[in-house]
A and B are shown apart, each in its own frame.
Chain A
Amino acid sequence: MAIPLNYNLNSLRVRWSSTVVAVLGIAGTVGVFVAVLALAKGFKTTLVASGSPGNALLLRGGSTSEMSSAISLDQEHIIEDAPGVARDSSGPLVSGEVVVIAPFPLKATGTDANVQVRGVSPKALAVRNIKVVSGRFFQPGLDELVVGRNVAGTYSGFDLGNTVKFGGGTWKVVGVFDAGGSAFDSEVWADAHVLNGVYKRPENNFQSVTVRLTSPEAFQHFKDTLTSDPRLTLDVERELEYYDKQSRALTTLITVLGTLVALVMGVGAVFGALNTMYSAVAERSREIATMRALGFGTGSVVTSFVFEALCIAFVGGLIGCLGVLPLNGMTTGAMNWQTFSHLAFAFRVTPPLLVGGIVFALIMGVAGGVPPAVRAARARIAVALREL
Chain B
Amino acid sequence: MVRVDGSGNGSSLVRVRGLDKKYQRGSEEIHVLQGLNLDVDRGDFVAFMGPSGSGKTTLLNLLGGLDLPTRGTITVAGDEITHLSGGKLTTWRARHVGFIFQMYNLIPVLTAFQNVELPLLLTRLSKSERKQHVETALQVVGLGDRMHHYPRQLSGGQEQRVAIARAIVADPTFLLCDEPTGDLDRKSADEIMDLIDRLVAEHGKTVLLVTHDPVAAARAHTLLHLDKGVLVEAHRAGSTAGGRN
From known contacts A293-B93, A296-B90, A385-B101, infer whether A380 and B67 are also in contact, taking CB-CB under 8 Å.
Answer: yes
Distance of B168 from chain A, by nearest CB (Å): 13
Q: Which residue of B lies closest to A383 (CB)?
A: B67
User: For the complex, is B242 an interface residue (Cβ under 8 Å from A)?
Assistant: no
Kindly list chain B residues whose C-beta atoms are within 8 Å of the C-beta of A295. Answer: 90-91, 93-95, 119, 122
Interface contact B109-A10, CB-CB below 8 Å: yes
Most buried by B among A14, A290, A294, A381: A294
Residues in B whose Cβ lies below 8 Å from that of A108: none
Q: Binary interface profile of B, 101-138, with partner A (CB < 8 Å = 1, else 0)?
A: 10101011110001000110110000000000000000
Report the count of interface residues on A (CB-CB < 8 A).
27
| A388 contacts across to B, CB distance below 8 A | 103
> CA separation between A382 and B86, bound complex, in Å?
13
Interface pair B110/A294, CB less than 8 Å apart:
no
Contact status B121-A382, CB under 8 Å = no
Q: How far is the CA of A296 from the CA of B90 in the complex (A)?
A: 7
Contact with A along B144-157 (1 / 0, CB 8 A): 00000000000000
Instruction: Enumerate chain B residues within 8 angstroms of A381, measured Cβ to Cβ.
Output: 61, 66-67
Contacts known (A4-B114, A382-B66); A296 close to B107, Cβ less than 8 A = no
Q: What are 30 A-B contacts defined by CB distance under 8 Å?
A: A4-B118, A6-B109, A6-B110, A7-B110, A286-B103, A287-B105, A287-B108, A290-B105, A290-B107, A292-B90, A293-B93, A293-B97, A293-B99, A294-B93, A294-B99, A294-B122, A294-B166, A295-B91, A295-B93, A295-B95, A295-B122, A296-B118, A296-B122, A297-B87, A298-B90, A382-B67, A385-B66, A385-B105, A386-B57, A388-B103
Candidates A6, A292, A297, A298; contact of B114 at CB < 8 Å: A6
Residues of A367-388 at the interface with B, using a CB-CB cut-off of 8 Å, are: 380-382, 385-386, 388
On chain B, which size bracket covers the interface? 20 to 34
B229 at the binding interface (Cβ < 8 Å): no
Interchain CB contact under 8 A, B109 and A11: yes
Q: B61's contact among A3, A11, A287, A382, by CB below 8 Å, is which?
A: A382
Contact residue among A294, A382, A385 (Cβ-Cβ distance under 8 Å from B118):
A294
> What residues of chain A lie closer than 8 Å to B180, measured between beta carbons?
none
Contacts of B55 in A (CB 8 A): none
Q: Is the CB of A286 within 8 A of B90?
A: no
Nearest neighbor of B107 in chain A, beta-carbon distance: A287
Interface string of A292-306 (1 = CB under 8 A from B): 111111100000000
In the assembled complex, how far is the CB of residue B162 from the closest CB belonging to chain A, in whole angstroms?
Answer: 13
Instruction: Judge whether B122 and A286 touch: CB under 8 Å.
Output: no
